[in-house]
Amino acid sequence: MPRNSQDYSHKVAIVGASETETVGKLPDRSMIQLHAEAAMLALADAGLTIDDVDGVATAGPTPAQLTEYLNIMPRWIDGTSVGGGSFLMHVGHAVAAIEAGYADVVLVTHGESGRSGVGVGGRGPANSTLAGQFESPFGVWGPPSQFSIPIVRHMHEYGTTEEQMAEIAVATRKWAELNPRAMMRDPITVEDVLNSRLIAWPLHLLNCCLVTDGGGALVLVSEERAKDFPKDPVWVLGRGESAAHTLISQMRDMTEWSAAVQTGQDAFAMAQMTTKDIQHAMFYDAFTHVPMYALEALGFVKPGEGGPYFAEGHTAPGGDFPMNTNGGGLSYTHTGMYGMFAIMESVTQLRGEAGERQIDNLETSMVHAPAGMFSGTSTLILGNQ
Amino acid sequence: MAYTKALPQATPETQEFWDGLKRHELRIQRCQDCNQFYFFPRPFCPHAGCRSTNVEWETVSGKGKLHTYVISHRGFGPWAEDVPYVIAVVELDEGPRMMTNLVNVEPEPEKLPPDMALEIVYDDVTDEVTLPKFQPAS
């Protein structure tokens, strides 16, 4: 009998979730240590220990490196590692694995010594890779010089402005002001963003995310077990994932995040929801234009309407579509593969644990993150009912 | 002075692209079934619904349009002395897009309107490697 993804909606829940004790500058902890710290805290949050885990998923280190460090031998592993959205994909994979009986208690971990570089391997593509042949020789030097390349085309096609993108940084900073863990909490203005130093025009410094250390982990179990934990379950209602390219020059359409269109449609179909059902959003903000592209691709606004939408304040505190309520990668923290922190804030909000920044009467949240630089994406729809 | 920036290392399926540049020819592949050009080099047509392996190398015009770009104000290693410099995506007249640097033009947004006409400049950075750079069309 053919199955469809709807059969897997609301079948698996997040019952444990925690970030590392602190995030920011952590030169006293190695990358893999951050994974383990977050894992133990997330398991404690669920009233479990490492010995209860029989499935692990991680990105950055391989699953084998993680199991070695934790000294466990699980029945199911997933090492999908395609950038910041990997952890969203792990959650989607965990739903299927748990439903298939491959594992009962799945641990998803993230840890990155992005700022301090403790226990981290080398970087940069080999000269014979596609990136090494067709991008590195032209002086690209990382995400600010590559993820940014499509922006000028969006400005040209739709009239999107630097001021509108600055508004995204301003709105996100307002959320960070409400988050005592956020690295950047001083108010900023559009002028501050536009006057901050140029990184790769049209990106200024304050259009760019932070670079920090930290980690986070999740524990997932089946519907049958989900009621037995200290905290109310956060249900996985929908998921979608894709990957399309790695070279930014090969992005199919510089004005549309086509992979996000697909992953949004898949997530909505699984959850049997539409944009109107989503009350809160965590749209990965490596740079200010990234959530703008996501908002358009996921169907919340029409193509080209993203810039004006942010400028109108919908996503800021008090707005009707709260987004990136932890302060985002722009102002809260950004270790390198920030997707775990995006999930974490959705869980925190859906549990009602967000303190001063808590969204009232929240039942649904969407998490969206890229796989690499516009390369692919993953979308999750989470809920607490 | 020795060139110290990153250099491409060709692989079997890209060798003709780099060999062509060394001869100051821009060589890309064209599908002989659907007639479309494509880039980056690979031994099959990447276009949806075609995927033919009947492909041939052709020398193309070296003309195109500025599709999108950034003006990098940071540069690492040997690039530090070049800032600000333009990392661009050119859309060739034959269709495909590729990354390049713009040369012989001021790195200012006002001087770089999207869709401006470009032409290739063969930059012989070493005895072995020529990089495809672009400048405003004459």
Predicted confidence (pLDDT) per residue in B83-130, tens digit? 999 999 999 999 999 999 999 999 999 999 999 999 999 999 999 999
Max CA separation in chain A (angstroms): 60
Closest to B92 (Cα-Cα) out of B128, B124, B125, B118: B118
The CA distance from A16 to A46, in Å, is 4
Flag if A201 and B97 touch (Cβ within 8 Å): no
Q: Give the closest of B67, B101, B131 to A254, CB-based.
A: B67
- Assess whether pLDDT exceeds 60 at residue A1: no
Chain A CB contacts of B11 under 8 Å are: 128, 133
pLDDT in tens, A51-68: 999 999 999 999 999 999
Query: Residues A7-19: pLDDT tens digits?
Result: 999 999 999 999 9
What pLDDT, on the 0 to 100 scale, is given for residue A355? 98
Q: What is the CA radius of gyration of chain A?
A: 19
Contacts of A253 in chain B (CB under 8 A): none
CA distance A359 to A18: 19
Reported as a pLDDT band with limits 50, 70 and 90, residue A282 is: very high
Please tell me the predicted confidence (pLDDT) of residue A119: 86
- For B69-81, write each residue's pLDDT tens digit: 999 999 999 999 9
Instruction: Please give the order of strands across the beta sheet that includes A213-222.
Output: A76-78, A55-58, A106-113, A213-222, A12-19, A234-243, A376-383, A364-371, A281-283
Q: How confident is the model at residue A125 (pLDDT cuts 50, 70, 90)?
A: confident
Say whether pLDDT at A376 is over 70. yes
Has residue B1 got a pLDDT over 90?
no
**pLDDT given at position B131:** 98
Task: Give the pairing type, strands A76-78 and A55-58.
Answer: parallel
- The model's pLDDT over B88-98, given as tens digits with 9 standing for 90+, comes to 999 999 999 99
Q: For residue A121, is pLDDT > 80?
A: no
The Cα–Cα gap between B125 and B3 comes to: 7
Q: Tell me what pLDDT residue B37 has.
A: 98
Strand intervals (E) in B7-111: 27-31, 37-38, 55-59, 63-72, 85-92, 97-101
Question: Does A89 score more than 90 pLDDT?
Answer: yes
* CA distance linking residue A283 with residue A265, whole number of Å: 16
**Mean pLDDT over the full length of chain A:** 96
Of the partner residues A201, A247, A250, the one whose CB lies closest to the CB of residue B70: A201
Percentage of residues of chain B with pLDDT beyond 90 = 99
Residue tagged 């969203």 (tokens):
A88
Asked whether the ipTM of the predicted complex exceeds the cut of 0.95, the reply is no
The CA R_g of chain B, rounded to the nearest whole Å, is 16
The residue type at A379: T
pLDDT, mean of residues B14-41: 97
What's the rounded mean pLDDT across residues A104-114? Answer: 96
**DSSP helix/strand/coil, A86:** helix
Chain segment A216-245, per-residue pLDDT in tens: 999 999 999 999 999 999 999 999 999 999
- Nearest-Cα distance to chain B for A284, in Å, is 21
| Contact at CB, A139 and B72, closer than 8 angstroms | yes
User: Which H or E run includes B122?
Assistant: strand B117-124
Ranges assigned E (strand) in chain A = 12-19, 55-58, 76-78, 106-113, 198-201, 203-204, 213-222, 234-243, 281-283, 364-371, 376-383
**pLDDT at residue A2, as a whole number:** 59
Label residue A3 by pLDDT band (50, 70, 90).
Answer: confident
Q: Which of A152, A195, A196, A251 to mutate to test the interface with B (most CBs of B within 10 A)?
A: A152
Mean pLDDT across chain B, nearest whole number?
97
Answer yes or no: do A134 and B79 touch at CB < 8 A.
Answer: no
Amino acid code (one letter) for A217: A
